[in-house]
Amino acid sequence: MIIDAHTHITRDPAYADRLVEAEKAIGVDKFVTFGAGPAGDWATNADVLAAAEKYPDTIIPFAYVTLGQVTPADIDEYARQGFKGFKFINPSMPYNDSFFLRIYARIEELGLPVYFHTGIVASLGDETGFDLDTSRHKIINLDRVARRFPKLTIFAAHLGNPDYGEAGMLTRWYPNLYFDLTGSTLKKKPPEFVSQLLWWDEAPWRPEGKKPQKERVLGVYNNDPQGRGPWEKIVFGTDVAPEKVAEVKADYDRLADTLELPERLRKAVFGGTAAELLGFS
């Protein structure tokens, strides 16, 4: 099963149709989708549910919510409506603010995953009337969340771009934290850079002719009780318009080919890990 863990749709129903067609063309079986924030023509939560009802075997609906504007009761209502998780971007305060802990606690109790935007927030052009602040999305703000709620499944977008070092170390120490490589990372950084961030891999990237290191000793290089290596913490995501999903898939393929990832880890990146976390066989 191939799963695209990070997509957006607009209010135009035809956009969802185009995205489904584009995803199928690159072999994707299912994809997570959500709105994108407070501006532009991005889908509302009602639009996302409608798309999921039209494509129940393909679309996995996540509810977009603005932290600071929802209550635990709202979270319960979204779950009742059929949303399979939640997307966070543009919080009213940093992600680690105490005011948000009750929201995370309720989602953990429900057993649903969350998807955090991390790193730079793109400029919308005319942002009059919107209070956007990249600093609230810094990856280090998820440290408190991952520690406080160890049973909360956390997807984080963009590998913290540009705070990659912090993202890499958080990946190592928190079993409940997973990243996608959407955005500009695979365009501006070579595969070797990503491999070096995930240095505790059982067979890290190596120059030609250098022998791989010995098999990983579980519990020594990471804090994952299930023994997941770093590439089992990276998920495939596109986060682009339908016309560009094939290009992002090619970027991920180039990463896997250059680093000579074994088939087991390729399957984990392209869908195995996401399938497990989202409850698919």
DSSP line for 80-131:
HHT---EEE-S-SS-TT-GGGHHHHHHHHHHT--EEE--SPPPP-S--TT--
Structural domains of the chain, with CATH: 3-278 (3.20.20.140)
Cβ atoms 39, 29 nearer than 8 A? no
> How far is CA 102 from each of CA 24, 149, 154, 197, rounded to the nearest angstrom?
38, 11, 16, 32
Give CA–CA dist 155/146, Å, rounded. Answer: 11
Confidence of residue 216 (pLDDT cuts 50, 70, 90): very low
Whole-angstrom distance between the N-terminal and C-terminal Cα of the chain? 9
Question: What are the structure tokens assigned to 52, written together?
Answer: 């999921």
Mean pLDDT of all residues in 216-222: 46
What pLDDT is stored for residue 220 in this prediction?
43
Q: Kindly provide the b/e burial profile for residues 199-230, where b requires at least 16 CB atoms within 10 angstroms of the residue's own CB.
A: eebbbbbeeeeeeeeeebeeeeebebeeebbb
| pLDDT over threshold 90, residue 234 | yes
Question: What percent of the chain has pLDDT above 90?
Answer: 81
Q: Kindly provide the b/e burial profile for residues 95-123, where b requires at least 16 CB atoms within 10 angstroms of the residue's own CB.
A: bbeeebeebbebbbebebbbbbbbbbbee
Which residues neighbour 279 within 8 Å (Cβ) at sequence distance 6 or greater? none
User: pLDDT tens digit string along 163-188?
Assistant: 999 999 999 999 999 999 999 999 99
| pLDDT over threshold 90, residue 72 | yes
Mean pLDDT of all residues in 224-232: 82
Mean pLDDT of all residues in 63-86: 97
What pLDDT is stored for residue 123 in this prediction?
78
User: pLDDT tens digit string along 130-161?
Assistant: 788 899 999 999 999 999 999 999 999 999 99
What pLDDT is stored for residue 222 in this prediction?
61
What pLDDT is stored for residue 130 in this prediction?
77
Strands of the sheet with 114-116, listed across from one edge: 63-65, 86-88, 114-116, 154-156, 177-180, 234-235
Mean pLDDT of all residues in 104-130: 89
ω into 91 cis (within 30 of 0): no
Which residue has tokens 């990856």? 139
| pLDDT over threshold 80, residue 100 | yes
What pLDDT is stored for residue 219 in this prediction?
42
Give CA–CA dist 150/192, Å, rounded. Answer: 30
Q: Among the listed ranges 2-6, 24-28, 154-158, 203-207, which one has the minimum average pLDDT value?
A: 203-207
What pLDDT is stored for residue 225 in this prediction?
72
Share the mean pLDDT of the chain: 90
Mean pLDDT of all residues in 3-24: 97
User: pLDDT tens digit string along 16-66?
Assistant: 999 999 999 999 999 999 987 655 688 999 999 999 999 999 999 999 999
Question: 10 Å Cβ neighbour count for 64?
Answer: 24
Q: Is 142 helix (H, G, I), strand (E, B) or coil?
A: helix
| pLDDT over threshold 70, residue 101 | yes
Question: What are the structure tokens assigned to 135, written together?
Answer: 């600093």
Q: Among the listed ranges 11-20, 178-187, 192-201, which one has the minimum average pLDDT value?
A: 192-201
